[in-house]
Structure 1
Amino acid sequence: MSRTVNSVYGSVNNRDNLSLSRCCCFQTVPNITVARRRNVLALHRRFLEGAIAAGLPAKGLDQAFARKIEISPSMWSQIKSSRPIGDNLARQIEQHCEVEAGWLDKEDRPSEVPDAAEERFIAVAREAWRHANAKGKRELSGWLKQRAARAPGDEPPP
């Protein structure tokens, strides 16, 4: 004895899929969140460079930065990893770091924090500079200056 069971699952599933197809299934992080995190890390880096240049010990500088911007060290740790920076906190950080209001929100600023590729390039350039004679150093310096002066898209053919 065989029975056929009619299911409404297909039609329910189709209806659900239709509504899901109208919305974005992947949540993206707003650009303002990314910009604020990148920029606050740049401010943190400035703080660290200044503190180390002043001869302060490296230990405890994260806590000192948190005190400077008047937040808890725990909150600073969360901000560095993933916590979004709200409007009020952004203005507070800008005020305590003595930058203009809205500075953290700017996305068009080139990153002040070098990425790994930039660090590798600098290491290779430093090695080339140290191993070059005077003529090689002039050529290397001239090539880099010429390359930096070019406008984007003004590349010579390969």
Structure 2
Amino acid sequence: MTEPNLTLTRRHNALQLFQQFAEARMRAGEPPKGLEQAFAQALQVSPSMWSQIKSSRPIGDKLARQIEAACGQAHGWLDEEHASPGLSPAEEQFLELALKAWRGSNAAGRKQLKLLLKQTLA
């Protein structure tokens, strides 16, 4: 059995914390735009630092403890693998809609759906 990669575990857990933060804010009526910056502010890091953490920057011990404290997690929580919480109701609803659109489209429609999603992510 291989030892889990601490860098990947911390990044995965940080992303999970962001997802929980974003979903809670959107349920409260906030628009999705600006949630990345709000989360960075809650962590007391710059938006640029949060962006780096999401993509490639390793999370050191000091930053890991800072993130845990800011998110109300126990000391060391970021270092442990946690079961994925599964899909949220909003994610399930989106996937059902996306699947319905995909299955109801021809090749040109599917190409258009993929393009729209890529543009949204860009």
* Smaller-chain TM-score bracket: 0.5 to 0.7
Matches of 1:82 and 1:110, distance apart in 2: 22
Partner of 1:110: 83
Which segments of 5 or more consecutive residues in structure 1 lack a partner in the other structure? 1-29, 128-158
Alignment of 1:5-24 (within 5 A): none
* C-alpha contact 1:42 1:113 (8 A) present in aligned 2: no
Computing the radius of gyration from Cα coordinates, the structure with the larger value is 1
User: Considering only aligned residues, what root-mean-square deviation do their CA atoms show, in Å?
Assistant: 2.3
| TM-score where L is the length of structure 1 | 0.52
Q: Residue by residue, what CA displacement relative to the aligned partner does 1:44-98 show, whole Å, maximum 9, x if unpaired?
A: 0000000000111111110000000000000000001111000000000000000
Q: CA deviation at 1:113?
A: 6.4
Unaligned runs of 5+ in 2: 101-122
Aligned length: 90
**Distance in 1 of aligned mates of 2:61 and 2:85:** 22
TM-score by length of 2: 0.67
Larger helix percent: 2
What percent of counterpart residues are identical? 56
Q: Which runs of 4+ in 1 moved over 6 A?
A: none
Give, in whole Å, the separation in 2 of the partners of 1:88 and 1:113. 29
